[in-house]
């Protein structure tokens, strides 16, 4: 039987395409956000709730009932969570059978369209979040670089003074002044820096290096050895 033909729903055809069934207890996860898609599912009995994990109070975005498909979309990983509402039985179907399974099933096609739209939004949000984090890493790398320059020239490596004005730093990092200020406040909130005499003091250069991805393997091993020495030398109660 060609996979291009519409798949009947009977167990005989399910066995032919290598499907399997899963029994879910109430509140059991079918899949979670970020897990790899290895198949898609048809609900045979019970009900499945789909929700976005990062939303406050995890509001439901869709429900799947007997005959509905879940685990749809174009991404290789799931963009939402799926959880059984009650005792639920699902059939696991191979991804390559999706086109045939939803052929002429307009409800399933609408579910697929909704899933693709959600995944586009999920991907857009992930890109925005990644773009928000990257400038913070660049700023951390910039401060680490200035700290190393200070150390090389005999100045206090923990103090970044007025010799590096905000306008220069913002231009170097490709940020606006308001964005730079917000990022500095974020580092201050993390207790990595603090205001100091018109500039900033680096409170935790090691943590800034880790944030910037500037820790060399040699330095990491040295730090680990130092930590072990501190632990072994600590007095025991």
CATH number, domain of 179, equals 1.10.10.10
- Domain final residue, candidates 104, 125, 154: 104
Q: What is the mean pLDDT of the chain?
A: 80
Residue 109 in domain: no
Residue 4 in domain: no
Q: Are residues 46 and 96 in the same domain?
A: yes
Instruction: Report the side by side order of strands in the sheet with 48-51.
Output: 29-31, 81-84, 48-51, 60-64
Based on the number of CB atoms within 10 Å of its own CB, is 203 exposed (0-12), middle (13-18) or buried (19 or more)?
middle
- Residue 89 belongs to what domain range? 11-104
Q: Is the pLDDT of residue 13 over 50?
A: no
The pLDDT value given to residue 5: 33
Residue 6 in domain: no
Q: Are residues 214 and 150 in the same domain?
A: yes
Residue 21 in domain: yes
Total domain count for the chain? 2
Q: Are residues 142 and 181 in the same domain?
A: yes
pLDDT in tens, 175-198: 788 888 888 999 999 999 998 887
Residue 1 in domain: no
Query: What is the DSSP track for 105-156?
Result: -HHHHHHHHHHHHHHHHHHHHHHHHHHHHHHHHHHHHHHHHHHHHHHHTTS-
pLDDT in tens, 118-172: 888 888 777 666 656 678 888 888 898 888 888 878 889 999 876 666 777 777 7
Residue 170 in domain: yes
Residue 35 in domain: yes
């Amino acid at each position: 039987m060609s996979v291009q033909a519409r798949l009947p729903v009977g167990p005989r055809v399910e066995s032919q395409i290598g499907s399997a069934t899963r029994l879910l207890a109430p509140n059991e996860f079918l899949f979670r956000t970020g897990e790899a898609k290895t198949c898609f599912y048809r609900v045979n009995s019970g009900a499945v709730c789909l929700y976005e994990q990062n939303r406050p109070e995890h509001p439901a975005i869709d429900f799947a009932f007997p005959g509905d498909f879940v685990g749809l979309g174009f991404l290789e990983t799931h963009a939402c969570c799926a959880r059984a509402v009650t005792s639920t039985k699902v059939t696991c179907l191979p991804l390559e059978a999706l086109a045939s399974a939803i052929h002429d099933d307009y409800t399933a096609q609408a579910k697929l369209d909704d899933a693709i739209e959600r995944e586009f939004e999920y991907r857009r949000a992930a890109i925005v979040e990644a773009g928000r984090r990257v400038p913070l890493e660049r700023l951390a790398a910039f401060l680490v670089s200035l700290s190393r320059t200070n150390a090389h020239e005999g100045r206090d490596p923990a103090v970044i003074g007025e010799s590096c004005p905000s306008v220069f730093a913002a231009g170097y990092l490709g940020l606006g002044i308001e964005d730079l200020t917000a990022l500095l406040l974020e580092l201050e909130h993390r207790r990595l820096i603090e205001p100091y005499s018109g500039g900033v003091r680096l409170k935790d250069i090691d943590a800034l290096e880790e944030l910037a991805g500037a820790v060399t393997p040699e330095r990491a091993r040295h730090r680990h050895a130092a930590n072990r020495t501190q632990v072994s030398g600590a007095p025991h109660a």
